[in-house]
A and B are shown apart, each in its own frame.
Chain A
């Protein structure tokens, strides 16, 4: 059967939207949120083959699934997040829990477990985190000991505990990371296995509709065939192989959550009359609280989609790109939700409106699947290697591509991207020459600047190539204006932050020389017309979201 085409994706999204519209009211969400309850019936319905069957997306076709491509999975994730991030997490945990199997499982293991998940609509959980092993999984303590019969390893006894596992209290199938004699490995453990217990549901700040629970293993016996890949010591490799992909999905969560919050605020602003007119007509209100977020969302969308398309070709890997997508989109979504409350004033702060809940919910996207700081380190490491390998030419070479794009299409901000990339290359080189990356803070900030510039670059390139990212509600002209604004701001941030870092850690360096090298003046010069461009975007927003 053919891969799903765009029309099929849109059909699936429509079905999901319509299901949510008919079945998941704001009141239902609010009540469950207040009572800290899981809408398990909703999850079951979403898995029901005749209603939606969302989980089939992650199951390869040969095992009765849909073999969903990265693009449709991220778009479904975005839509799920717009509905509720707790429900989204419940669905995502099944995706995540199945991933070690997907990358590491033998054909027999895949056939057995995927068929079971597909046909019996099983909820899956992914158990990696422990009390002392969060970002630092190497400190893993849960152990899997050999059970030997007649000189053969026939099974494992797992002992230890896991913390904060999504679907932990409600899943049927668990993929659990444990330290086997041959190293960290994934095991499949079924609910009901003797010695395996689940803790109570956590009382959390947000995503309260998602079950989160600890797991305890007391000499839990699993047969050797439940070791994923039938080979010990592959656990970290299997986990890392899908980071590019799983982080892209959480990026879509950040995007969806943020969009939902700001859209609620914008609709409100169209009706809220203050000082003689609707708030959405007030320039400062829009430019401070609404418009910048839409620009970042479209940049994030372009980047996520571009990465998804790359992943469809490469299958796995792209860990740096996945990290960039997640860092950028989730931090943008989180800030947007915060401003959505501000934009709605007192109403935003009450539980009458969704934004207050979204703000609590979306924060998790900056924490799970790699905290923002861990991602900054990952991004830094990935690109630092490139910088060193290319003798500082990595971003300079890319800048040349944007010079050429600017010559073809001067309207999309390719000139600013070129300046920003050169500034970035310069800052990286100053950091190398002066050994500034011994400061952990510098590595974090470099990770952030790298993600800022790479997202800006992809957004501009997509616009220059006249690509309107699927799922975007804007026309190409508006997207070009957005890309141009975004490129200028990212270049400015890169140059000025870069200067701050270099001068802040290396007092001996000559200020005028560094400042000239990042060419801040040229970047500042690109700011002409910036506010007009932002007003244009505001006008478009009013148009599109007018009730």
Chain B
């Protein structure tokens, strides 16, 4: 079995700010991380690998420094990495990104399972995975919290409003993964980090994968970003603790102070 996991390098969202004047993201000095959903999806792929001996390839599109997330994935146990990187990809929206990634998947050749994160924490659209399934002409299951696979089928737990579904699908299929609230990402040991240096990462351009340049970048992107702005900041709430009686008294006191009641 061959699993391809799509992983994206994102700025650590806890540290990104929007420049209020220009409306662009201030990324300078902000460390980049592996998108947490992709980190989770990768760990699931590696669990399947441990059980079935599947091969795991990680695929990322981004600037040259995105190679760092591929290295992390290799250190965690993925077998090979592919970086799609060239000017032609820059400015792609989700549609063009999905086209590029899907074209790369086809170029890699045989595959049984494509895993994506549910969404990237910077773009937040959750569109790339489903759009890739369209380009690849394969079925998709989104928003899954767990996955198990053997050579022919996958069984997933897909979250839905108020519950979950257990679904089974024949391979090949594309699955997007969400993650549990208490998920703690795994990181490699020093030795694993060291050994990952010897694993292969290929860098491909649009010509390498035979992608149509008109379907990439700004030209291939039907969406245009109008503007980006930070949500208005709200004043911090205050938290009180104590017994029910103490809290009730506190509220009355505050409401009086704010002249809501007398």
Contact = CB atoms under 8 A, between A and B. Distances in A.
Contacts of A475: 28-29
B29 A544 contact: yes
B16 to A, nearest CB: 11
Contact of B190 (A7, A53, A473): A53
Interface string A468-494: 000001110000000000000000000
B185 interface: yes
Contact of B197 (A4, A22, A48): A4
B171 interface: no
Given A2-B197, A473-B29, A14 B187 contact: yes
A18 interface: yes
A57 B185 contact: no
Interface in A6-44: 7-8, 10-12, 14-15, 18-19, 22
Nearest to A478: B29
A54 B190 contact: yes
A15 B71 contact: no
A237 B191 CA distance: 32
B72 A66 contact: no
Interface in B29-59: 29
Pick from B67, B185, B191, B196 the residue with the most CB of A within 10 Å: B191
A508 interface: no
Given A18-B185, A475-B28, A544-B29, A12 B190 contact: yes
Given A1-B194, A11-B71, A52 B29 contact: no
A76 to B, nearest CB: 9
A8 B68 contact: no
A272 B249 CA distance: 29
Contacts of A5: 197
B218 interface: no
Interface residues of A, number: 29
Contacts of B193: 4, 8, 11-12, 15
A11 B189 contact: no
Question: What DSSP secondary structure best describes chain B's contact surface?
Answer: helix
Q: Which of B28, B184, B188, B196 has the most CB of A within 10 A?
A: B188
Interface string B55-71: 00000000000011001
Contact of B188 (A1, A15, A66, A474): A15
Given A7-B67, A7-B71, A53 B28 contact: no
A353 to B, nearest CB: 20
A432 to B, nearest CB: 47
A14 B188 CA distance: 9
A56 interface: yes
A51 interface: yes
Contacts of B72: 11, 14
B187 A53 contact: no
Nearest to A472: B29
A78 B191 CA distance: 19
Nearest to A13: B193
A66 B190 contact: yes
A475 B26 CA distance: 13
A51 B184 CA distance: 14
Contacts, number: 62
B29 A4 contact: no
A57 B190 CA distance: 8
A289 B93 CA distance: 46
A51 B28 contact: no
A48 to B, nearest CB: 8
A57 B185 CA distance: 23
A71 to B, nearest CB: 14
Contacts of B135: none
Contacts of B185: 18
B75 interface: yes
Interface in B173-192: 184-185, 187-191
A473 B12 CA distance: 14
B198 interface: yes
A387 interface: no
A49 B192 CA distance: 9
A15 B189 contact: yes
Contacts of B188: 11, 15
A53 B75 contact: no
A22 B190 contact: no
Contacts of A15: 187-190, 193
B157 interface: no
A324 B198 CA distance: 37
B17 interface: yes
Most A C-beta atoms less than 10 A away, residue of B72, B190, B195, B198: B190
A10 B194 contact: no
A544 B184 CA distance: 26
B29 A8 contact: no
B203 to A, nearest CB: 14
Nearest to A51: B189
Contact of B191 (A49, A473, A544): A49
A52 B189 contact: yes
Contacts of A10: 68
A515 B165 CA distance: 84
Interface in A163-198: none
Q: Can you list the 4 inter-chain pairs with the closest CB atoms, starting with the nearest?
A: A15-B187, A11-B193, A18-B187, A53-B190
Interface of B: 17, 28-29, 67-68, 71-72, 75, 184-185, 187-191, 193-198
Given A8-B193, A8-B196, A48-B189, 5 more contacts: A7-B71, A8-B71, A11-B71, A11-B72, A15-B190
21 contacts: A1-B198, A4-B193, A4-B194, A8-B71, A8-B194, A8-B196, A8-B197, A11-B71, A11-B72, A11-B193, A12-B190, A14-B72, A14-B187, A15-B188, A15-B189, A22-B184, A49-B189, A51-B189, A52-B189, A56-B190, A474-B29
